[in-house]
Amino acid sequence: MKATQVRPTGVERSFGADEIIVTKTDPRGIITYANEVFLRTSALTEDEAVGQPHNLIRHPDMPRAIFKLLWDTLAEREEIFAYVVNLASDGAHYWVLAHVTPSFTPDGRLAGYHSNRRLPEPAAVHEIGRIYARIRSAEQQGSGRSAVDAGWQALLGELGDRTYDEFVWGLTNGARR
């Protein structure tokens, strides 16, 4: 399945608040492990998921600037928390609060990435959806690299003097009040 071949249906899918979506990838982002929650929520079989690039679930509403931040952070061998909307193979979408960390071999080489995703609070999804729409709008003013740069500037404008981590945790904690 290629995400670009799947058309979003507008149907939102969810998973249990006590469930965790787990995937592991190699350093190139190829899925090496997917748990049952991931498979069920993404409407994929294990054979359809394992061996495929993780971006097979990329939703067209996700700003490219957020993936730039994700990959830049992981390249610095740091973890990241991010709100992400994913696209299932049947066109449904689902929001997650993702925690992505690099994994290392005993001798310190990058072995891949581990991602745990939890169900986000609806208020946080509502707010991040509005912010991502503004970033996507900026990205649509350009193409290729200039689109990513425009989205990046829009993201920085949304963050103000906060880091993305501070922004995410402020949103998460604010949503739980």
> Domain containing 115 — which CATH number?
3.30.450.20
Count the residues in the chain: 177
Say if 15 falls within a structural domain: no
Query: Can you read off the two tokens belonging to residue 29?
Result: 């982002």
Say if 98 falls within a structural domain: yes
Determine the pLDDT at residue 65: 94
Q: The domain containing residue 53 runs over which residues?
A: 20-175
Write down the mean pLDDT value for the chain.
Answer: 93
Determine the pLDDT at residue 84: 97
Residue range 58-64: average pLDDT? 95
Domain tally for the chain?
1
> In this structure, what is the dihedral angle of CA atoms 74, 158, 84, 16, given to the nearest 10 degrees?
120
Say if 118 falls within a structural domain: yes
Say if 6 falls within a structural domain: no
> In this structure, what is the dihedral angle of CA atoms 139, 144, 150, 152, given to the nearest 10 degrees?
100
- Quick: pLDDT tens for 97-129: 999 999 999 999 999 999 999 999 999 999 999
Say if 14 falls within a structural domain: no
Say if 52 falls within a structural domain: yes
Give 6: exposed, middle or buried? Use CB within 10 Å, 0-12, 13-18, 19+. buried
Say if 67 falls within a structural domain: yes
Q: Is the pLDDT of residue 20 over 80?
A: yes
Calpha distance 104→2 (Å, rounded): 28
Residue range 2-9: average pLDDT? 74
- Quick: pLDDT tens for 133-147: 999 999 999 888 899
Say if 61 falls within a structural domain: yes
